[in-house]
């Protein structure tokens, strides 16, 4: 799969004739929206887990020193919690560009806290994309995040922004919070040395 998925995502036109579509956000879309929306609701999707397994060359790192951002990994019975945005389809072009580094638009069932469900979209970076980094220990991920900076700023700001947003939603994510604990521990050690 090419590094830039913008053209591929334009072919996914299932919702183009709809007046609105739900978009599920589980990473930076939770805390850094950057696009207009009609409605925003806490939501979740089933059988997926959030993991810092995707490389970021265009936002939180560079080609020489990629950052790490989240994608979704299939996991039976798991629920990934986040935010769903009701958007108009014309906004998808803007989001396609934002998510161009390996993410594909996929159709999914989005569940809301009131028990209702809706068909919508999610962007997922699979292992077939050239920026996929794959699994690593939470400590190794934290080390990479601590050292990475890209056009959108330090990779650590992405991690702490996501962790803070999940806490504000009252949601637990052991993977995210463990990486954050390692990052904070590293920063504390640096401050003690200085």
**Active-site residue set:** 99
CA distances from 6 to 40, 88, 91 (A): 25, 18, 13
Q: Considering Cα of 149, then 66, then 97, then 106, what sign does the dihedral take?
A: negative
Question: Would you give the distance in Å from CA 136 to the centre of its chain?
Answer: 17
Give per-residue burial for 90-117: e unless 16+ CB within 10 Å, then b: ebbeebbebbbbbbbbeebebbeeeeee
DSSP state of 130: T
Place of tokens 């970076």: 125
């Amino acid at each position: 799969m090419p590094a830039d998925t913008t053209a591929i995502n334009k072919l996914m036109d299932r919702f183009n004739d709809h007046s609105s579509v739900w978009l599920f956000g589980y990473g930076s879309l939770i805390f850094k929206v950057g696009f207009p929306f009609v409605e925003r609701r806490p939501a979740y999707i089933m059988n997926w887990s959030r993991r810092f397994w995707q490389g970021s060359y265009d936002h939180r790192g560079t080609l020489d020193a990629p950052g790490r951002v989240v994608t979704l990994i299939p996991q039976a019975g798991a629920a990934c919690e986040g935010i769903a945005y009701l958007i108009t389809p014309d906004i998808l072009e803007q989001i396609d560009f934002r998510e161009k580094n390996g993410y594909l638009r996929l159709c999914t069932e989005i569940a809301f806290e009131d028990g209702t469900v809706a068909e919508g979209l999610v962007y997922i970076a699979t292992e077939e994309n050239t920026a996929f980094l794959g699994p690593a220990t939470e400590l190794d991920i934290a080390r990479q995040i601590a050292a990475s900076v890209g056009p959108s700023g330090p990779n650590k700001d992405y991690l702490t922004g996501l962790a803070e947003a999940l806490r504000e939603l009252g949601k637990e994510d052991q993977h995210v919070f463990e990486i954050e604990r390692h990052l904070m521990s590293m920063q504390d050690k640096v401050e003690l040395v200085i």
